[in-house]
């Protein structure tokens, strides 16, 4: 629902405020952005060199998440949001690289007075996110470019398995706000790394994240979540197809490898959830 959160948006060309007029957003300089019939808006300022999730990847993710396999992550994220932001958030909750809106919608349910903006580089993800929750507005944007959001527009920023542009995340976060980041730990999906040839998680991922954000944020809290999922062969195929592994594997080869695994198969879920507070001034 973009009309609820349009005040948080900024023109990707000139940075001016956007207003909604019928089926378009426009700024004072005359830049206009048509609303897609699915309810999202494309705010990419031009061509991008970063790859976007395909329709097939987004469909696989939607099916996998709908089955509840990553529900423990969503539950932990909501709990962390409540502890960090307090029982009430009435401003804007922004999800950067939010995909289908699965996690964002869960957080929005916890804060009934908040509006939400979800940004993702994939138009297929934005289509789904626009319908994920009545208080979420979705836009296509590149997380590595300047974000089409006003300075200090966000009371709470979510970043789940997504790119992290430190200076932009700091710019859009209001004083007293919080950034919540979810990243995979080295043990995540460990049973499948060799069996299916999946990408592994760098042992230094957490320390690199801290170093990356240190000029702009301070750590307010960290917790680790580890569970064992029980996934049938269909869920395993969706898991591979929904993320970056999909770019590196032939689907037929993946299906053949999956047939060699137990059905169902125990798989480790292991992530780190970190809350950050913005520094008063960037270093």
Q: What is the mean pLDDT of each run of 10 residues along the chain (283 residues)?
A: 86 96 94 95 84 93 98 98 84 96 97 96 97 96 96 97 96 95 94 87 78 94 97 96 81 91 96 94 59
Cα–Cα nearest to 229, from 94, 31, 73, 34: 73
* pLDDT value for 51: 81
* pLDDT value for 91: 87
* pLDDT value for 281: 67
Decide the pairing of beta strands 115-120 and 92-96: parallel
Can you identify the CATH homologous superfamily of domain 2-46+53-278? Vaccinia Virus protein VP39 (3.40.50.150)
* pLDDT value for 282: 57
HSE (side-chain half, CA atoms, 13 Å) at 29? 10
* pLDDT value for 2: 77
Q: pTM, whole model, 2 decimals?
A: 0.94
* pLDDT value for 62: 98
Neighbours of 3 (CB within 10 A): 12
Decide the pairing of beta strands 115-120 and 154-160: unpaired
Task: Identify the helix (H) or strand (E) that includes residue 258.
Answer: helix 251-259
* pLDDT value for 213: 94
């Amino acid at each position: 629902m973009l009309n609820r959160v349009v005040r948080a948006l900024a023109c990707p060309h000139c940075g001016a405020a956007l207003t909604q007029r019928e089926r378009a957003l426009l700024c004072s300089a005359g830049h206009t952005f048509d609303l897609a019939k699915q309810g999202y808006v494309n705010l990419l300022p031009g061509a991008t060199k970063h790859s976007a999730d395909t329709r097939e990847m987004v469909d696989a993710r939607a099916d996998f998440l709908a089955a509840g396999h990553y529900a423990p992550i969503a539950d932990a994220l909501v709990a962390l949001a409540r502890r960090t932001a307090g029982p009430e958030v009435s401003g804007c909750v922004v999800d950067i690289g939010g995909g289908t809106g699965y996690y964002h919608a869960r957080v929005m349910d916890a804060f009934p007075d908040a509006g939400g903006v979800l940004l993702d580089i994939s138009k297929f993800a934005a289509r789904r996110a626009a319908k994920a929750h009545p208080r979420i507005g979705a836009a296509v944007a590149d997380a590595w470019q300047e974000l089409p959001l006003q300075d200090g527009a966000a009371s709470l920023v979510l970043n789940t398995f997504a790119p992290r542009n430190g200076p932009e995340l700091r710019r859009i976060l209001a004083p007293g706000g919080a950034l919540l980041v979810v990243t995979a730990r080295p043990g995540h999906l460990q049973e499948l790394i060799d069996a299916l040839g999946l990408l592994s998680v760098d042992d230094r991922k957490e320390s690199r994240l801290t170093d990356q954000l240190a000029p702009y944020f301070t750590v307010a809290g960290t917790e680790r979540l580890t569970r064992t999922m029980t996934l049938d062969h269909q869920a395993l195929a969706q898991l591979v197809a929904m993320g970056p592994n999909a770019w590196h594997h032939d689907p037929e080869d993946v299906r053949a490898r999956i047939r060699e695994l137990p059905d169902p198969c125990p798989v480790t879920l292991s992530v780190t959830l970190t809350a950050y507070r913005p520094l008063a001034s960037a270093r």
